[in-house]
Amino acid sequence: MSASSKTALVVTAHPGDFVWRAGGAIALHAKRGYRVKIACLSYGERGESQFAWKAAGVKLEDVKAQRRDEAERAAAILGAEIEFFDAGDYPLRGTEAILDRLIDIYRELNPSFVLTHSLADPYNVDHPEATRLAQEARIIAQAMGHKPDPTRAYSAPPVFLFEPHQPEQCDFKPNTILNIDEVWDTKYKAFQILAAQKHLWEYYHRVALNRGVQGGRNSGKAMTYGEAYQRLFPQILEELA
């Protein structure tokens, strides 16, 4: 399969999450010809927009509009398309309608891989809720009896969990480091779109540098910037070397 026919799906709770944690993977695969789609479950309007709420007289709809605009521009910089669900955050609660649309996206896109949050996050329950929805949709999309269509082609994709803000507390065990050197400037440009979360720009710059060091040490190849992922399902190989 050529890169131009491959696809990727990112299921994210809030707009900033796909930029900080998976922006390199999105930009890298988009650059290589993948169609990358982001399913953004909320605008992060309540709990992920600290700076936006400091403006006098700000209203919820104002913050949602700001975050939508930021997310659309960040996705465009990274080379991805984005679909918003407007599920609300703090708390984010999955519904049958959200699940049904995610299932349809899996089948329509037939992604080569999926990126989403860690399985646990004691600091932000929106994140594992997004992962739960991503996982449930992946499972149901395989069921031949769900909206039967004998003409469709679908295979359950590998899932990679992107790095949470406090990995040790989330039982995050990275077993994959992606070299994002060639798209780091693109990822950092997307950072700068997220004015509502300026306090995270430098933090995730340091995270990328740390993962780059680890990637270089483990591969023996020069690497400056990396992104860490936890592969959820086994990788099937014909040989180990």
CA distance 13 to 218: 31
CA distance 77 to 72: 9
Question: What pLDDT is stored for residue 2 in this prediction?
Answer: 55
Report if residue 239 sits inside a domain.
no
Specify the amino acid at residue 124: N
The answer to the question of residue 236 being in a domain is no
**Beta sheet of 159-162, edge-to-edge order:** 81-84, 35-40, 7-12, 113-116, 159-162, 226-231, 176-179
In sequence order, the 6+-apart residues with CB closer than 8 A to the CB of 159 are 113, 114, 115, 116, 134, 135, 138, 231, 232, 233
Number of structural domains in the chain: 1
Note the pLDDT of residue 176.
97
Q: What is the CATH number of the domain that holds 47?
A: 3.40.50.10320
Say if 240 falls within a structural domain.
Answer: no
Please report whether residue 95 resides in a domain: yes
Domain coverage including residue 181 = 3-165+173-231
238 domain-assigned: no
Q: Residue 4: what pLDDT?
A: 60
Alpha-carbon radius of gyration of the chain: 18
In a domain, 241, yes or no: no
Q: What is the pLDDT of residue 151?
A: 83
Profile the chain (241 residues) by mean pLDDT over runs of 10 residues: 79 96 98 98 90 85 93 97 97 97 97 98 98 98 91 90 97 97 98 85 96 97 97 94 80
Residue 237 in any domain: the answer is: no
The pLDDT value given to residue 39: 98
Asked whether residue 24 is assigned to any structural domain, the reply reads yes
CB 43 within 8 A of CB 84: yes
Quote the pTM value.
0.94
